[in-house]
Amino acid sequence: MRAKASWVGTAAIAVGLLLVAPSAAFAQAGPTSRTITGTVERLHLDLLGEHNAPANDDVALIHDGATAVRVPASEVAQVPTGTTVSVNLASPSRSLSALSTESGSTITSLNVVSPAASAPATPASVHDVTVVLATWPGQPVDSATASGLSATINGTVNDYWSTVTNHRVGFKVSSAQGWITVATPACVNGDPAGGTFGFWKDVAKAVGFVESAGHHLVVHIPQSSPCGGSAGIGTVGSSPTSGGLLWVRGTSADVIGHELGHNLSLGHSSVLTCSAGGVAVTDAPAANCVKQAYRDLGDIMAMSWNHLGFLNAAHLARLGMLDSVVDVSSPTSVTLTPASGAGATRSIRLRDASGAYYVELHAATGLDSWLGTTPGWVDAGVTVRRDFTSTSVSAADQSRLPSRESFLLDGDPSTPDTSFGSARTTLPIGRWVDLAGGSFGIRIASTGGIGSAAFAKIDIRVNGVAPAPKVVAPMGTWSGGVIRGAVTVQSGRYLVPVRVLYTPTITASATSRMAAPVGVTSPASRVSASSSWTSTSVSAGASSTSVYARVLPVTALHLSKAWKVLSVKGAPGSRAVSAAVRGASATYSFTGRSVALIANTSPASGRVRIVVDGRQVAITSLASARAHTALVVWTSPALTLGRHVVTVASMSAAPVSLAGVAQVELGSHPAA
C-alpha cells in the first residue's frame, strides 16, 4: 500500500492584480498576524494505507522561495496553484493533525499579485530524469541503488508512459547519484509535507539540478523514513511539458510512474458514488455525490499498485493526448474497441456545462491484460468517468472535485459494494443509464469478443431521444444454444460451448443450412441474474444476430437441505454443491427459451432426473471415466419465451455434484 502527496502547478490565468475577498471561514486579523508573499502550492494526501481515505486530500501551502507555510486548503480552494499571492496570516496556526487538509495558519486577507506562469507550448518527447538517493542526519539508508532505480525508470516506467501517450512522452535517466546526506529532512514526525520543499532544495543544490520544463528530479529516501505511511510526493505541473520534483520511499514502477504522472499535470483517479432521493444512482449533481479518493483501482493515478492499467480517457484528454475519441452531441450508436488497443474508436466523449463524460471499454489486453485475473479487484467492461471544469462546482467542492482529477462513476449502483475493492463500476448490458440529469443516456446494446478483439456497441440518447433502430428485412432464422462440453476460463471469463444455426429463406441457389460454432463469454466473478449477460455477434452472409450468454454459480439455485457447499477451483464462483442422498433437489427459475446444467463428473457419480415446468424431460448420468470440473451435461429443448422452472433431483445415494447453470438467448437482449 502506498500514500502519496503532490505539489500542483496550473496553467496561467488571465488576471492582473486581483483582490480576493476572504471566505466565510477566514478569521479576523489579530494583533499576532503576519504578512507573507509567495506562490500557492498544493500537496495531495494519498493515505492508501487507509482504505477510507479522506475525500479532501489537498494540503495547501504558501511558498516564498525559502519556506513553505501551511494554510487551510478550503481557504485557497478557488486560487489556482502557482498563483503569487500576498496573504495576512493569523498566528498561531490551527492545532489539527498534520494529515488534516485544514491544518495551518488561518488567512485573514488575500491579494493575488500575479497568475501562474504559462507552460511551454512544445513538450519534450523524452523527459530528462536525474536520480538521487538521499537521506538526512539520523536516518539510516536502505538497500536501494541508483542503478536499480534508473533501470526501473528507463524500463517499465518509460515503456508505460510511452505506450499510453502514443510515444509523445517518455523518460530517460541522464544522471544517477548514490546515497548523499542533506541537512533538511523530507518529512518530520509523520508529516510528509513537513520539510519537502527544503529537502528538494538541498538535494538539487548538492547535485546541480535546475528545475525546468521536461526535467525531473527523482529522489529515493529511506524506506524507514517517518513520513506517515506516505510512499511518495510529486509536484504536479501545468501540462505534459512540465518538469518536476518528487521523492519516493520505494523503487516500484507503479509508485514512480504515479509521481511522474503528477509532474505531467495529472491529479488522482477517484470513484464518485451518487444518490438521488436516498437511492444510489450512477450520476447526480456534484453536491449529491461522495468522492472515494483513489478507488479507481485499475488506473496508475489511483492505487493500482503493481497493476499498471491503461491511463483513463479523462486523464489523456487533460494531457491533450486522447486519440480515437468520438464526440457525441446527437442520438447515435458507437462501437467501442479496447482502450488498451489500436482500434479506431476507443472512447466516447459527452460534453455538458459541468465538464465531460468519457465512456471506455477496458478489456483484458495490452496494459489491461491483468483485468479479471484478480477477483474482487477490478472487472473488465464498459466504464464511465467524468471530469469537472474549474467553474462547474461550488466553492465548497473546489478542493474536493478539482479539474485535474478524474472520477469513475458507479456503473451498476444496484449491486452492493460491501468492502474495499468490491465496487462493480462497469455498466450492465442492456440497461439505460442516465447522465447529466438526463441530458444523456447510454446503453450497452451488445458486447463480444475477448482480449484485443473485444467490442461493445453503445447506444446514446440525447435529451431523451434514442438512436433510430436499423430495420433489416429478415433473410432467414437463427437458432441454437449451449452444447455439451467443458466450461473453461480464459482471460478471467467463462468460455461456454455454443452452436448457433442459421436457416436462410429457401431460394433456388440458397444453402439450406449454415453452421456457425462460436464461443460466448460471461463474467467470471460476481455474476448476478440481473446484470451478467454478455453478448457477441455472429454472421452468415448478410445476416447477423446477437448471442447473449451468462453463467450462474450454484448460489443461483434453490437447494434442498441435503446439499453440501464445496470450494471447487474452476467451477463458477469457485463453488459447487454435492449430495449423496436420493431425492436431493436443486431448482432454478428463469425467463428465456433455454437453459443448460453445469456439473462435476467422476467415475463414482450417480444420475439425476431433470424436470422442466413439472414434466420430466431427461435422466442424465454424471458418471465419467475420470473426474471433470464444470461440464455442460444437459441442455434443454427449445422452450417458448417465458418463465420456466427447472428441477434437478438425485436418483440414488450415489454422489452427484452440481456447479451451476448457463443460459443462451438469440436476438434481442433477454430479460433479467
Cβ-Cβ contacts under 8 Å for 287 (sequence gap 6 or more): 394, 397
Who's near 443: CB < 8 A, 6+ residues apart?
430, 431, 432, 433, 458, 459, 461
- Summarised one tens digit per residue, pLDDT across range 509-520 is 332 233 333 444
Residue 407 has pLDDT above 80, yes or no: yes
Over residues 15-28, the mean pLDDT reads 28
Residue 431 has pLDDT above 90, yes or no: no
Confidence band, pLDDT 50/70/90 cuts, at residue 564: very high
Q: How far, CA to CA in Å, does 378 sit from each of 309, 365, 415, 551?
A: 10, 14, 14, 19
Alpha carbon dihedral 416, 418, 422, 426, in 10-degree steps, equals 20
CA pair distance 232, 254, nearest whole angstrom: 11
Backbone angles phi, psi at 243, to 5 degrees: -95, -160
Identify the CATH assignment for 126-263 out of 3.40.390.10, 3.40.190.10, 2.30.300.10, 3.40.50.300: 3.40.390.10
User: Cβ distance 280 to 413 under 8 Å?
Assistant: yes
pLDDT band at 29 (very low <50, low <70, confident <90, very high): very low
- The Cα 670–Cα 592 span in angstroms is 7
Measure CA of the first residue to CA of the last residue in the chain; give whole Å: 38
> What's the rounded mean pLDDT across residues 378-391?
84
Name the residue ranges covered by the structural domains of the chain: 4-114, 126-263, 269-462, 476-548, 553-666
Q: Which CATH architecture has domain 4-114?
A: Beta Barrel (2.40)
Place of cell 444420475: 607
**Mean pLDDT, the chain, as a whole number?**
81
Confidence of residue 665 (pLDDT cuts 50, 70, 90): confident
Task: Please report the pLDDT score of residue 390 as a whole number.
Answer: 61
pLDDT for residue 301: 92
Contacts of 414 (CB under 8 A, 6+ apart): 280, 530, 531
- Amino acid found at 13: I
Q: Rounded to an integer, what distance in angstroms lies between the CA atom of residue 553 and that of residue 567?
A: 12
The arithmetic mean of pLDDT across residues 281-296, rounded, is: 89
pLDDT value at 383 more than 70: yes
CA distance 152 to 260: 13
For 553-666, the fitting CATH number among 3.40.1190.10, 3.30.420.240, 2.60.120.260, 2.40.70.10 is 2.60.120.260
Element of type H or E holding 148: helix 146-152
Cβ pair 584, 649 in contact under 8 A: yes
Q: What is the pLDDT of residue 374?
A: 66
What is the pTM assigned to this prediction? 0.73
Q: Average pLDDT in the 307-335 region?
A: 94
Q: How many CB atoms lie within 10 A of CB 17?
A: 8
